[in-house]
A and B are shown apart, each in its own frame.
Chain A
């Protein structure tokens, strides 16, 4: 998965677990950037009476680096608070919920938004904004879309924010991929699969009909660019931003048992979750270091560069698919550092490698989702992003429709090596490899406007 269960410790703490991060120039307002950080992954919609929510004891943050040093120049902090209307009922709602302040809605959640500038100055932009309810079902919530629209808030400082449940838009054939690297379209070519299957299989989207909790913010491009420039050339380093999200918990927690309201959470915030590029911690970082990676800032990512230079998955592909990745096998054998992957994941792609494009942030190796903010949104997005000739897609930021699993597979399989080594000829299979899914497979279609992620699946009909 992108980052749904990417590390041992955080997989046991889903409330603080970031699962996907998106950053793109907004197609509904091209003078702005939209950043979406998903948390609380793999939500079964029918989860009453205690439906999913953000952690009141978790600090959620979205960071933007404007000058390429891997440190935040702008951070938005989101803190949550849950309120009960009625402490004599076991129900989430005691009647239909028709508005965000409906008296029938018993357990509501609110959030604050704090902006932290590059000097560390904290400004609370709003102290109490309502989240929408979870999508209980059509009996309880007759018009969910209306409630969700009401939960999009425009702040006086210009930002648009939303925090609440949405449909998970990530698509991945999880069951096959983590069953010894099987890609169902190529299952009959797999080392073991060829003994089981006579032909290709149809991919299964393992995250379909599941929800997440999303924190989304839309803000002017000038607010995220270095020196606040409204206009900048695409080649200018100031056109590129790096984005990542983190979740933190207090260092100390003392539980008081039956005296629940006397529980103590105190001390510095300790980072427990981080996400920049999809799949970085999931498939690049060894399991023994995944929890460590989650606790570190991007400035420490040079520690993990060796795993990008020689990714484990690149070594596995020729073994799992015999005869299909011979050129990759030779590259692996020569122990040639993967400068293409180092650029894509840790520094950005320098100017002059891809026509009319760069998202280079300098020599500091840091896992951030890098976005050249000058590239306008595509009218017809290509799911393969830059590999498909669409400069507005991953790895230039990340859009909802980008097939980051297949893009990453193709890159690791060698299709991006010629960017740094013209003599290398990728295997034919490298340009064909894919998981066999696309955003078209999403049951809940993404919206064309903020917050873009589709209506969460309701508990009445899902699972069906």
Chain B
């Protein structure tokens, strides 16, 4: 939900650190690489390397991923990555 900003700048202890987390629920939402944005809703720049990136494994069997970045969504297929993720969450 909403982030609250202190003064005129957001407090973000993670603003320059890229974090990769493999989420447990494959098929619902899989991986996040995230930092807090400093901008207003919907104004996050997708060209920023430190901007959030979320990968969702939509169809584990086909290896179909949705990659959410900035205001965009890209769909790609990678069966090997899907298999690795399934193994990581012990569903394979």
Q: Do A and B bind each other?
A: yes
Which residues does A use to contact B, with CB under 8 Å?
A: 55-59, 77, 79-85, 87, 107, 112, 248, 250-256, 259-269
Residue in contact with B34 in the complex, picked from A250, A260, A262, A268, CB distance below 8 Å = A262
Question: Which of chain B's residues 16-33 have a Cβ closer than 8 Å to chain A?
Answer: 19, 23, 29, 32
**By the criterion CB–CB under 8 Å, are A254 and B34 in contact?**
yes
Bitwise interface map of B from 34 to 71 toward A, beta carbon under 8 Å scored 1, else 0: 11110011111000000111101000000000001111
B43 proximity list for chain A (CB < 8 A) = 79, 112
Q: Cβ of B81: which chain A residues have Cβ within 8 Å of it?
A: none
Is B12 interfacial (CB-CB < 8 Å)? yes
How far apart sit A201 and B3, CA to CA, in the bound complex (Å)?
Answer: 48
Instruction: State in angstroms the CA–CA spacing of A85 and B7 once bound together.
Output: 6
Which secondary structure characterizes the binding site on chain A? strand
Partner of A264, one of B8, B13, B34: B34
On whether the beta carbons of A56 and B40 are closer than 8 Å, the reply is yes
Please tell me if the beta carbons of A262 and B4 are within 8 angstroms of each other in the complex.
no
- Which residues from chain B contact A268 at a C-beta distance below 8 Å? 68, 71-73
Chosen A-B contacts, 22 in total, with CB atoms closer than 8 Å, are A55-B2, A56-B41, A57-B1, A57-B2, A82-B5, A83-B6, A84-B4, A87-B6, A107-B4, A112-B43, A252-B54, A252-B68, A254-B23, A255-B1, A261-B3, A261-B13, A262-B19, A263-B3, A264-B32, A264-B36, A266-B44, A267-B68
Q: Does B76 contact A (CB under 8 A)?
A: no
Interface size on B, residues (CB 8 A): 37
Nearest chain A residue, comparing its CB with the CB of B21: A254
| Contact surface of B with A, Cβ cutoff 8 Å | 1-8, 10-14, 19, 23, 29, 32, 34-37, 40-44, 51-54, 56, 68-73
Determine whether the beta carbon of B10 is less than 8 Å from that of A261. Answer: yes
Are B36 and A80 interface neighbours, CB within 8 A? Answer: no
> Is B52 in contact with A264, judged by CB distance below 8 angstroms?
yes
- List residues of chain B with CB within 8 A of the CB of A77: 42
A82/B40 in contact, CB under 8 A: no
CB-CB under 8 A from A59, the residues of chain B are 41-42
Shortest beta-carbon distance from B33 to chain A in Å: 9
Nearest opposing residue in chain A for B6, CB measure = A84
Known: A112-B43, A264-B32. 14 other contacts (CB 8 A): A59-B41, A59-B42, A82-B5, A83-B5, A84-B6, A87-B6, A261-B12, A261-B14, A262-B19, A262-B36, A263-B3, A266-B53, A267-B71, A268-B72
